[in-house]
Structure 1
Amino acid sequence: MLSFRIVKLGLEGQISETEIPTPGPGEILLEIHACALNFADLLMVEGRYQDTPPLPFTPGLECAGRIAAMGNDISDFQIGDRVAVFGGQGGLAEYGLFDAARAIRIPDSVSYDTAAASMIAYGTSLLALEQQARLQPGETLLVTGAAGGVGLTAVEIGKLLGARVVAQARGTEKLAIAQAAGADHLIDGSEDLRQRLLDLGGADVVYDAVGGETWKAAFRATNPGGRLLPIGFAGGDVPQIPANRLLVKNLTVIGFYLGGLVKLNPEIGRTTFDKLMGWLAEGRITPHISHRLPLAETNRGLALLRDRTATGKVIMQPRAAPLA
Structure 2
Amino acid sequence: MQAWRVHRNGEPGEVMRLDEVDRPVPGEGQLLVRVRAANVNFPDALLCRGQYQIRPPLPFTPGVEVCGETADGRRIIATPALPHGGFAEYTVVDAAGALPAPAALDDAEAAALHIGYQTGWFALHRRARLAAGETLLVHAAAGGVGSAAVQLGRAAGARVIGVVSGAAKARTARELGCDQVVDRRAEDVVAAVKDATGGRGADVVYDPVGGEAHTWSAKCVAFEGRILVIGFASGTVPTPALHHALVKNYSIVGVHWGLYLQKDPGAVRACHDRLTELAAQGVIKPLVSERVPLSGAADAVQRVADGTTTGRLAVLPAAPGQAHPPAAGESPR
After superposition, what is the alpha-carbon deviation per residue over 1:51-91, rounded to whole angstroms, capped at 9, x for unaligned? Answer: 333444321110011112xxxxxxxxxx0111111236421
Pick one of 110, 114, 122 that aligns with 1:115: 110
C-alpha deviation, 1:93, in angstroms: 1.0
Say if 2:126 is the partner of 1:131. Answer: yes
Structure-1 separation of matches of 2:267 and 2:249: 29
Aligned to 2:281: 282
Q: How does 1:145-184 map to 2 (within 5 A)?
A: 145-184=140-179
Aligned to 2:230: 231
Aligned to 1:5: 2
Structure-1 separation of matches of 2:258 and 2:55: 11
C-alpha deviation, 1:24, in angstroms: 4.0
Counterpart of 1:41, as a letter, is D
Q: Which of 289-298 and 134-143 deviates more?
A: 289-298
Structure-1 separation of matches of 2:236 and 2:285: 30
C-alpha deviation, 1:275, in angstroms: 2.3
Q: SS state of the match for residue 8, structure 1?
A: strand
Aligned to 1:258: 257
Aligned to 1:18: 21
Structure-1 separation of matches of 2:150 and 2:173: 7
Counterpart of 1:8, as a letter, is R
Aligned to 2:138: 143
Preserved contact between residue 115 and residue 277 of structure 1 (Cα < 8 Å) = no
Q: Which of 292-301 and 83-92 deviates more?
A: 83-92
Give the structure-2-normalised TM-score: 0.89
Q: Which of 177-186 and 102-111 deviates more?
A: 102-111
Aligned to 2:296: 297
Q: SS state of the match for residue 34, structure 2?
A: strand
C-alpha deviation, 1:248, in angstroms: 0.5
Q: SS state of the match for residue 28, structure 2?
A: coil
Pick one of 320, 325, 331 that aligns with 1:321: 325
Pick one of 61, 73, 83 that aligns with 2:64: 61
Say if 2:78 is the partner of 1:81. Answer: no
Structure-2 separation of matches of 1:107 and 1:171: 33
Counterpart of 2:2, as a letter, is R
Structure-1 separation of matches of 2:104 and 2:251: 40
Structure-2 separation of matches of 1:186 and 1:219: 19
* Structure 2 CA distance for partners of 1:167 and 1:322, relative to 1, 3 Å: same
Preserved contact between residue 193 and residue 214 of structure 1 (Cα < 8 Å) = no
Q: SS state of the match for residue 162, structure 1?
A: coil
Give the structure-1-normalised TM-score: 0.92
Structure-2 separation of matches of 1:285 and 1:141: 17
Q: SS state of the match for residue 174, structure 2?
A: helix
Counterpart of 1:165, as a letter, is V
* Structure 2 CA distance for partners of 1:220 and 1:123, relative to 1, 3 Å: same
Aligned to 1:194: 190
Structure-2 separation of matches of 1:122 and 1:157: 8
Where in structure 2 are there 5+ consecutive unaligned residues?
319-323
Structure-2 separation of matches of 1:54 and 1:260: 22
Counterpart of 1:162, as a letter, is G
Counterpart of 1:298, as a letter, is A
Preserved contact between residue 13 and residue 297 of structure 1 (Cα < 8 Å) = no
Q: Which of 85-94 and 114-123 deviates more?
A: 85-94
Aligned to 1:50: 53
Preserved contact between residue 87 and residue 102 of structure 1 (Cα < 8 Å) = no
Preserved contact between residue 102 and residue 276 of structure 2 (Cα < 8 Å) = yes
Counterpart of 2:247, as a letter, is V
C-alpha deviation, 1:271, in angstroms: 1.8
Aligned to 2:321: none
Structure-2 separation of matches of 1:21 and 1:229: 37
Aligned to 2:240: 241
Structure-2 separation of matches of 1:233 and 1:21: 32
Preserved contact between residue 36 and residue 316 of structure 1 (Cα < 8 Å) = yes
Number of aligned residues:
311
